[in-house]
Structure 1
Amino acid sequence: MTNPDFTATLPRKRMGAGILLCDDRGRVLLVEPTYKDYWEVPGGTVEADESPRAAVVREIDEELGLPVCPGRLLVTDWVPPRPDRTEGLMLIFDGGVLTPEQAAAIRLPPAELRGWAWCTEREAGERLSALLARRVVAAVRARAENTAVYLEDGCPVS
């Protein structure tokens, strides 16, 4: 008789992983999905049995056609449940600075993404959902301060 794994009965959380890619002027790279009304950070859903880091590598290859080696974790953000979605854990890794040559090599999947743009903090705030804008600002600051931050619903917890 086999003993079932107790951990298989524990609750599961939705998880997403993104990457903070910047240019040499400190602007962040955002993508415009075809299936949402707002822009996003490059990245996506962490699949079953996939690490968040591996998800970022896979998603950036699929979304931008770029090979990336994610750096350190900048943000962990717990997002509470809403009527239309479950709670989730969202992570942002440091992707470093893209060279102009790397940016010129970006290739988007037309069925998934309309476009991409380098954005200042103000421009990102205009294009992103309020929650994601808070997360991106926290990631930019964490990168500048050489730290990592924990957020809940995009807000620092002290």
Structure 2
Amino acid sequence: MVKDKIVSCGIVLLDSEGRVLLAHATGTNHWDIPKGQGEDGETEIQAALREMVEETGLLLSESRLVDLGRFVYRRDKDLYLFAARAAGDELDLSRCTCTSLFPRHGDGVMIPEMDAYRWTLPVEVDQYASRSLARLFQTTLSLADLHRRL
């Protein structure tokens, strides 16, 4: 029996210089794009927009998103991604907040899923992102091409 893969929906948000928004996953040493699993009845785009709000506080309209499709991510997970260009009022990352909480390992205290944000040049993604995300941007989804396309 083949178990269905988890599908995580997210948004690749680029600024006018082609830098990608990465959020630091609390309690880890890596950064990620805002993404997560859909809830019952949600479409991919609804899940991606909700995750963006929960993990960054940024509310994007559906009409701004470019559907990039589904990508192989890991053995147990695929990504369904959208892309958008950040607007002027979305560039100040000090305004970002994460309302998605999880219990901290060890003491169970509820802490934010994401605790810092950065605009990251495509050539710097490997230094910050997980291996799976870095590999996706190196081999399948070129940030430089996406920057030109948006």
TM bucket normalised to smaller: 0.7 to 0.9
Q: Residue 3 of structure 1 corresponds to which residue in structure 2?
A: none
Of 90, 93, 111, which aligns to 1:102?
Answer: 90
SS, match of residue 115 in structure 1:
strand
Which range moves more in the overlay, 87-96 or 10-19? 10-19
How many pairs align?
Answer: 132
The question of 1:26 aligning with 2:18 is answered yes
Are 1:74 and 1:143, in contact at CA under 8 Å, matched by a contact in 2? Answer: no
Q: C-alpha separation between the residues in 2 aligned to 1:44 and 1:36?
A: 16
Q: TM-score, normalised by structure 1?
A: 0.71
Q: Residue 105 of structure 2 corresponds to which residue in structure 1?
A: none
Q: C-alpha separation between the residues in 2 aligned to 1:104 and 1:80?
A: 32
Q: Residue 93 of structure 1 corresponds to which residue in structure 2?
A: 82
Q: Residue 120 of structure 1 corresponds to which residue in structure 2?
A: 121
Q: Residue 63 of structure 1 corresponds to which residue in structure 2?
A: 55
Read off the aligned partner of 2:146 and give its amino acid letter: R
Q: Which of structures 1 and 2 has the bigger CA Rg?
A: 1
Read off the aligned partner of 2:68 and give its amino acid letter: L
Q: C-alpha separation between the residues in 2 aligned to 1:119 and 1:36?
A: 18
Closer, same or farther: CA 104–143 of 1 in aligned 2, 3 Å: same
Structure 1 residue runs of 5 or longer lacking an equivalent are 1-9, 82-86, 148-158
SS, match of residue 36 in structure 1:
coil
Are 2:9 and 2:45, in contact at CA under 8 Å, matched by a contact in 1? Answer: yes
Are 1:22 and 1:29, in contact at CA under 8 Å, matched by a contact in 2? Answer: yes
Q: TM-score, normalised by structure 2?
A: 0.74
Are 1:20 and 1:139, in contact at CA under 8 Å, matched by a contact in 2? Answer: no
> 1:47 offset after TM fit, Å?
2.2
RMSD: 2.5
SS, match of residue 136 in structure 2:
helix
SS, match of residue 47 in structure 1:
coil
The question of 1:131 aligning with 2:119 is answered no
